[in-house]
């Protein structure tokens, strides 16, 4: 059930708007002043604000700007002022729509529906963009073997020769558990002094370079009592 905040000092108009929109299935809160409207905005968290431009304590256009500083809630101006300049000023202040009094309640209802529909669509698009960005960032651990480069979320990361060889082994065999001995053999010849302890140090350094949170690694996991494994981006943490 969607919520509407009516900021209107004309009691008769406010009650009429509230009564009609309540019958349309909306939950309504009313404010007769700008200050009360700002408080209700935080407490009520409406889906749409119906805002009169002429309030006893605030200029409606300035109040619209104030709301826009902290909220993206759709704002519809309902005003006696019908001049084009007034509408332009209100829209530039952050209003989404402008309805001149007197108006049809059917038109008001249709415009409110359109504002909510557009707001929900924008939220869906934004959420999808966030998911796409996350997916792109999480799948961006790459090796350029020709240039011996490690790319983490699109950024080149410096590695030692041994670190690069370990990452190449991990990425070539995602999900496979490697013992420390396996990892020692993989880089022996490049690192003649490699030991179990050296492997652990390499792993710590690699986690610092590829993990978002090295203390809670997603990609390079410890398999207790055995060694380490690299997991693909799609595999959930346990």
Q: The CATH number of the domain where 104 resides is what?
A: 3.40.50.2300
pLDDT of residue 70: 87
DSSP 27-58: EEEEESSHHHHHHHHHHH--SEEEE-SB-SSS
Which of 102-116, 139-153, 172-186 shows the lowest per-residue confidence on average (mean pLDDT)? Answer: 139-153
CA distances for 101 relative to 24, 92, 227, angstroms = 20, 20, 74
pLDDT band at 128, cuts 50/70/90? low
Residue 75 lies in a domain: yes
48-51 vs 75-79, strand pairing mode: parallel
The residue with greater pLDDT, 65 or 193, is 65
Instruction: Report which listed range, 3-12, 75-84, 187-196, 200-209, is most confident.
Output: 3-12
3-class DSSP string for 15-35:
HHHHHHHHHCCCEEEEECCHH
pLDDT band at 185, cuts 50/70/90? confident
Residue 238 lies in a domain: no
Residue 135 lies in a domain: no
Say how far apart CA 169 and CA 179 lie, in whole Å.
12
Instruction: Report which listed range, 138-142, 194-198, 203-207, is most confident.
Output: 203-207
Domain region containing 114: 3-126
169 lies in the same domain as 101: no
116 lies in the same domain as 167: no
Structural domains counted in the chain: 2
Say how far apart CA 79 and CA 38 lie, in whole Å.
19
What are the tens digits of pLDDT across the range 198-207? 888 889 999 9
98 lies in the same domain as 153: no
pLDDT of residue 159: 82
pLDDT band at 189, cuts 50/70/90? low
Within a 10 A sphere around the Cβ of 21, how many other Cβ atoms? 21
Mean of pLDDT over the chain: 85
pLDDT band at 134, cuts 50/70/90? very low
Residue 131 lies in a domain: no
Does residue 85 carry a pLDDT above 80? yes
Q: Residue for token digits 């299935």?
A: 25
């Amino acid at each position: 059930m969607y919520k509407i905040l009516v900021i209107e000092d004309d009691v008769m108009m406010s009650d009429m708007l509230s009564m009609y929109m309540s019958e349309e299935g909306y939950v309504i809160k009313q404010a007769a002043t700008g200050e009360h409207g700002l408080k209700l905005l935080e407490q009520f968290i409406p889906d749409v604000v119906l805002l009169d431009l002429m309030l006893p304590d605030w200029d409606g256009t300035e109040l619209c700007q104030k709301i826009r500083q902290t909220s993206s809630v759709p704002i519809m101006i309902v005003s006696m002022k019908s001049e084009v300049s007034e509408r332009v000023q209100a829209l530039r202040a952050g209003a989404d729509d402008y309805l001149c009094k007197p108006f049809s309640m059917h038109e008001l209802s249709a415009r409110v529906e359109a504002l909510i529909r557009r707001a929900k669509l924008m939220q869906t698009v934004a959420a999808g963009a966030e998911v796409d960005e996350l997916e792109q960032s999480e799948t961006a651990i790459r090796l350029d073997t020709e240039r011996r480069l490690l790319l983490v979320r699109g950024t080149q990361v410096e590695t030692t020769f041994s670190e690069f060889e370990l990452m190449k082994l991990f990425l070539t065999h995602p999900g496979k558990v490697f013992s420390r001995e396996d990892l020692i053999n993989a880089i022996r010849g490049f690192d003649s002094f490699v030991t179990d302890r050296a492997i652990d140090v390499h792993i710590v350094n690699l986690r610092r370079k590829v993990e978002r949170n090295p203390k809670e690694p997603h990609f390079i996991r410890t398999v207790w009592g055995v060694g380490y494994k690299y997991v693909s981006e799609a595999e959930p943490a346990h």
